[in-house]
Amino acid sequence: MDASADHSEPSAFRRHWRVVTVAGLLGMTYFRCCLIGAPRTKFLKELGATERHFGIIASLAAVTMAFQLVSGALANRLRRRKTLWMVLFVLHRLTFIGVLCAPGLFASSTARIWWIIGVLLVHNSLIHLGDPLWFSWMTDLVPEKGFSEHWGRRQRFITVGGIFTQVAIAFWFGWYENQGRVVEGFIIIGIFGIILGVIDIFLFTMVPEPPHHREEGLPLRQALAEPFRSPAYRPFLIYQIYWRFAMMLAAPFFMVYLIGEVGYSARTVQLMLVMHGVGMALASRFWGRICDSHGFRPVLQFVTACKFVVPLTYVILPPIRAVALPFFAAMFVFDGALNAGGRLAMKGFSLRCTPRRNRAMYVAAASFVSLGLAGGLAPLLAGFAIKPLTDLAAFELGPYTFTGFHAIFALSCVLRASALPFVNRLHEPESQSMGEMLKSIRCTGLFGQRSPQR
């Protein structure tokens, strides 16, 4: 029996899924080292990046999701997705070397930042060319039974590993930060991340690719239009558009605010992110069971109803480091637990309510219009608004200093709190209500070993 044919056997699937899970941990380490940790923020600020630059970087990262449409169209025509995906992602990892070279290539801070923006534009384009291919491949690989629980266990393993990774990065980079060698420290950590990121991709040579259901005769225009015309999928698309705008209005600036305005060190902020990982690790397996037993919609309803607390914390806490620290830490744990459920429910709803034929295009279209357009416009607007709002309306009230950051965070808070009507319209007839889900949680306990079946 060849490797591509035995994936349905339970023992074979478990063996392959372990490889996917370990690879995911290495890939997460790459992102933590290079892209989404406090060291990157400190590195960019050291090179002269402003709020506008951070807004542009976040916006362009979102806009490059247009390449997911290209990938979705390719997925409908490719016989094999695996080889192309591996090539694209190896190039994606290696491209980040251009960011690490920036301090040695240019003397001007402006030239350095714009070079980095250009490299990240190519870097992000490559990942979005590959993402729909990977999700289409993994959806064919994972069995229907226990679909969300398999993803939940993987997410939990990666998150637990990520906690140790973040602690290591915090102290590793902190040593360089304390010596005033921020740029050198980030370059070394970045090289380490790239090496692990490339190993991550090569591990997938051991994972089979199940038979791929292609739609070669489906015209591109029809493939693109289908997700927007689907009565079952369109409400989810509308929800994602609104939700991503509300989230991305503030999210790219949280670490910029903590480091640049409150004055926390990169090590402290990185350790706060560890608390986010703790929340995800504690809740991932639980949310996987809840998604399988109660449906995706009630989980999204609960997460949506609670997420306004995150930007609200940044608004109400005074910028006094010692006072705010424990409250920020608690908020990160809470946010991590919410994100664990939100990611599983979003991924599950997106993959389960799409037809197997043209699935890659559904995923690509949703990503482009929500994260690419709405999620790209939001940080661009916010990045250009923060300084003018600070100049126009900043004021002090006792220990509080309100700036443009707080205005953006408050607006994000209002938009997040207003998103519940959109998620209520999601089409999932077999799901239970949020009230039934919460009643079940009260009966079994948050980390109970069983969940009532539908």
89-124 confidence digits (pLDDT tens): 999 999 999 999 999 998 899 999 999 999 999 999
Q: Letter for the amino acid at 221?
A: R
Helices (H) and strands (E) counted in the chain, each on its own, are: 21, 2
User: CA-CA distance, 63 to 205, in Å (whole number)?
Assistant: 30
Q: Measured between alpha carbons, how far is 250 from 248 in angstroms, rounded to an integer?
A: 5
- pLDDT at position 381 over 80: yes
Start-to-end CA distance of the chain, whole Å, equals: 36
- Computed over every residue of the chain, the mean pLDDT equals 84
Q: Which residues contact 413 (CB under 8 A, 6 or more apart)?
A: 250, 308, 311, 312, 315
Q: Could you give the C-alpha distances from 23 to 41, 46, 203, 213, 446, in angstroms and in order?
A: 25, 32, 6, 25, 29
Per-state percent for the chain, helix, strand, coil, to nearest 5: 80, 0, 20
Structure tokens at 229: 């015309």
Q: Pick from 198, 77, 72: which is nearest to 130 by CA? A: 72
pLDDT at 283: 85
The tens digit of pLDDT for each residue in 11-21 reads 788 888 889 99
Give the chain's domains with CATH numbers. Answer: 10-210+220-444 (1.20.1250.20)
| pLDDT, tens digit, 9 for 90 and up, residues 14-50 | 888 889 999 999 999 999 899 888 899 999 999 999 8
pLDDT tens-digit map of 277-312: 888 888 877 888 888 888 888 999 999 999 999 999
